Amino acid sequence: MAPGGGKDSAKAAHLAIWHERLCSDDPRLVPVDRERWARVRVLVVEDDDAIGEPLVAGLKREGFDVARVRTAAAALVAPAADLVLLDLGLPDGHGFEVCRQLRARSSVPIIIVTARDDEIDRVAGLELGADDYVVKPFGFRELVARIRAVSRRTATPAAASGPQRIGELEIDRRSHRVYLAGEEVALTPKEFDLLAVLAVDPGAMVTRRDILAEVWDPHWYGTSKTVDVHIASLRKKLGNPDWIETSRGVGFRLAIHQ
Ligand code: CA
């Protein structure tokens, strides 16, 4: 891809996919207990209207109490929120600085929103105290599931920022390690990401398209057989093929009995 124009058109394509996903009334969206989530105040820190506007509308539709600011300075003086969705590229500073300053004075859960899957950004963000990260463009359902997962996790102090436990499986997103009955399972980075995406909302179906977008790249032009290959390998390593259910033509779900 040529530099300059290529980058702009890639960004435009990202935004188009993002917009389409946010604006579609996806029937796969799980029913929401609006009463419960209406109490969750989400602060969206995003300068780009093409992302911020449909994102705020979508979150409100899901029942969240949403406020949005466009700059780092505004984020630091915004009213208290229960969760912050933080874009890294802000007009008046880097999101990392916002993350560091927010974390220095509160334990508000922070989900970093990065423009691309940059390993350095991800590690640096988590080291600065972010609770999770998502990569643009991501499925809206995935984002909502992560907001709920982070809210649930941080609601109980004992579980705050600890590994996720599902039955005898333990997933530590901070260290990228997985344990099965206390024994570490050696996963490749892609296998880890795949398991982490399925584990965001255990029992929920995750489509192939969302898996490809989350774990690989939204512009993945290869065959989705890649997903099957990694699922097969993950099943083998977890030792229990039934833990990942296949829904033919739709996707996969984690089916571990708690
Ligand atoms: Ca931005």
CA 30 to CA 141: how far, in whole Å?
Answer: 8
Tell me if 1 is assigned to some domain: no
Short-list 38, 93, 87, CA closest to 61: 38
Determine how β-strand 206-207 pairs with β-strand 251-254: antiparallel
Short-list 62, 57, 52, 58, CA closest to 91: 52
Domain identity same for 118 and 169: no
Tell me if 104 is assigned to some domain: yes
pLDDT digits (tens, 9 = 90+) for 128-154: 888 888 887 777 888 888 887 777 666
Q: Say which DSSP state 4 is in.
A: T
Please count the structural domains in the chain. Answer: 2
Domain identity same for 41 and 128: yes
Domain identity same for 38 and 54: yes
Determine how β-strand 65-69 pairs with β-strand 93-94: unpaired
Domain identity same for 149 and 164: no
Last residue of a domain, one of 121, 155, 189: 155
CA 197 to CA 137: how far, in whole Å?
Answer: 15
Tell me if 10 is assigned to some domain: no
Domain identity same for 62 and 138: yes
CA 120 to CA 244: how far, in whole Å?
Answer: 30
> Which amino acid type is present at position 162?
G
Question: How remote is the CA of residue 46 from the centroid of ligand 1, in Å?
Answer: 6
pLDDT digits (tens, 9 = 90+) for 172-202: 887 889 999 999 999 988 899 899 889 888 8
Question: How remote is the CA of residue 146 from the centroid of ligand 1, in Å?
Answer: 20
Q: What pLDDT shows up at residue 2?
A: 42
Question: How remote is the CA of residue 221 from the centroid of ligand 1, in Å?
Answer: 26
> Could you tell me the CATH number of the domain that includes residue 211?
1.10.10.10
Domain identity same for 64 and 144: yes
Buried b / exposed e over 56-93, threshold 16 CB at 10 Å, is bebbebbbbebebbbebebbeebeebbbbbbbbebeee
Domain identity same for 143 and 189: no
Question: How remote is the CA of residue 77 from the centroid of ligand 1, in Å?
Answer: 18
Question: How remote is the CA of residue 12 from the centroid of ligand 1, in Å?
Answer: 14
Question: How remote is the CA of residue 227 from the centroid of ligand 1, in Å?
Answer: 30
Read off the tokens for 229.
Answer: 């290959």
Last residue of a domain, one of 155, 171, 201: 155
Question: How remote is the CA of residue 200 from the centroid of ligand 1, in Å?
Answer: 25
CA dihedral 123, 129, 135, 139 (to 10 degrees): 140
Reported as a pLDDT band with limits 50, 70 and 90, residue 4 is very low
Domain identity same for 188 and 226: yes
Question: How remote is the CA of residue 49 from the centroid of ligand 1, in Å?
Answer: 9
Q: Which domain holds residue 68?
A: 31-155
Question: How remote is the CA of residue 50 from the centroid of ligand 1, in Å?
Answer: 10
Question: How remote is the CA of residue 91 from the centroid of ligand 1, in Å?
Answer: 7
Tell me if 206 is assigned to some domain: yes
pLDDT digits (tens, 9 = 90+) for 59-108: 998 888 899 999 999 999 998 888 999 998 899 988 889 999 998 888 88
pLDDT at 244 exceeding the cut of 80: yes
Last residue of a domain, one of 104, 125, 155: 155
Question: How remote is the CA of residue 156 from the centroid of ligand 1, in Å?
Answer: 32
pLDDT at 30 exceeding the cut of 50: no
Short-list 178, 94, 159, 91, CA closest to 128: 94
Q: Say which DSSP state 159 is in.
A: G
> Could you tell me the CATH number of the domain that includes residue 64?
3.40.50.2300
Question: How remote is the CA of residue 212 from the centroid of ligand 1, in Å?
Answer: 23
Question: How remote is the CA of residue 47 from the centroid of ligand 1, in Å?
Answer: 5
